[in-house]
Amino acid sequence: MTAKVLDGKQIAVDYRAGLAKEVEALKAQGVTPNLTVILVGNDGASQSYVNNKKKSAEKIGMSSEIIHLDETTTEETLLNEIEKLNDDANVHGILVQVPLPKQIDETKVLEKIAPEKDVDGFNPINIGRLYAGVETYIPCTPLGIMEILKNADMDLEGKDVAVIGRSHIVGQPVSKLLTDANATVTLLHSRSKNMKEVLKRSDVIVSAVGKPGLVTKEDVKPGAVVVDVGNTVVDGKLTGDVKYDEVSEVASAITPVPGGVGPLTITMVLNNTLLAAKRSMK
């Protein structure tokens, strides 16, 4: 068997085309969805992420601003800046790029972003609302994974799913979304003693660890769907957790790295910003 390639780039292109149409419709009603991103300091990778988000938003017709604050910005200044954006009716989505300089408490910052503008879904109140089953913003990588899985030709109902990695950014929330989709989820992590056995009996594997070579051909049940959320830079190259070439021989569908989950994450930032704009009109 050669696995179907779950082409995140193409899935993202199609999804964004749908978003662009909805943005156009909102603009016709006088509302231009706006994504505002706060960047503190001059980290090169962060600058490139932030610019990418702005460009992606503009490409589908949204407006987008970057607020660039100095590396030495105090926590109070940042909190005041967020407060202003919370109060600005023209801003629908607010992102604060992490990591933040060490003088700033990340938890305080995330809790300051108005829940209805928290398009990353990182404010604990939105995480809690996800678990409580009330209206929220779902974190973008887990949401992107669910979108990719729609393209895998597998009904998740009652399926055995192994999620590797227990972070609150990916592993935990994607486990929740998969459980909501009626899958039976086993959450694996660095202290799991029987990872290989669990993987081998799973219909779907989602790996979000950052450990290249972790998932091998021997671990994967023939016909399983494999989603690789790892993105570790090895010799200057973005590398996933899964041995792509060999696992492709046994899986029924697989995401490449790069070009798998990555493009969907930003897509879901845009998705949530559109949602925020729509909800603001109610």
Residues involved in catalysis: 53, 97, 120
Site for its own copies contains 28 (CB under 8 A):
no
Q: Per the annotation, does 63 bind a ligand?
A: no
Nearer to its own copies, 188 or 268 (CB): 188
Residues 46-105 that bind its own copies (CB under 8 A): none
Q: Considering the complex, what minimum distance in angstroms separates the CB of residue 162 from its own copies?
A: 9
Element (H or E) spanning 198, and its range? helix 195-200
Q: Considering the complex, what minimum distance in angstroms separates the CB of residue 58 from its own copies?
A: 31
Q: Give, as one character, the DSSP assignment of residue 242.
A: B
Q: Considering the complex, what minimum distance in angstroms separates the CB of residue 138 from its own copies?
A: 12
Site for its own copies contains 222 (CB under 8 A):
no
Site for its own copies contains 43 (CB under 8 A):
no
Cβ-contact 173, 142 below 8 angstroms: yes
- 55 Cβ contact list (under 8 Å, min separation 6): none
Among 74, 80, 90, 107, binds its own copies (CB under 8 A): 107
Residue span binding its own copies (CB under 8 A) among the ranges 21-29, 122-130, 205-213, 230-238: 122-130
Q: Per the annotation, does 166 bind a ligand?
A: yes
User: Where does the chain show beta strands of DSSP type E?
Assistant: 4-5, 34-40, 63-69, 93-96, 160-164, 184-188, 204-207, 225-228, 232-234, 237-239, 253-254
Q: Considering the complex, what minimum distance in angstroms separates the CB of residue 190 from its own copies?
A: 9
**Integer Cα distance of 52 and 32 in angstroms:** 19
- 78 Cβ contact list (under 8 Å, min separation 6): 38, 40, 69, 96, 100, 104, 109
Helix (H, G, I), strand (E, B), or coil: what is residue 89?
Answer: coil
The DSSP bridge partners found for residue 65 are 36
Nearer to its own copies, 92 or 159 (CB): 159
Q: Which amino acid is at 162?
A: A
Residues 129-148 that bind its own copies (CB under 8 A): 129, 131-134
Q: Per the annotation, does 201 bind a ligand?
A: no
Among 179, 218, 249, 281, binds its own copies (CB under 8 A): 179
**Integer Cα distance of 145 and 260 in angstroms:** 9
Nearer to its own copies, 26 or 224 (CB): 224
Among 10, 48, 80, 194, binds its own copies (CB under 8 A): 194
**Integer Cα distance of 229 and 27 in angstroms:** 34
Residues in the interface with its own copies (CB under 8 A) total: 38
Please report, as ranges, the residues that interact with its own copies according to CB under 8 A.
107, 110-111, 122-129, 131-134, 157-160, 166, 168, 172-173, 175-176, 179, 182, 184-189, 191-194, 198
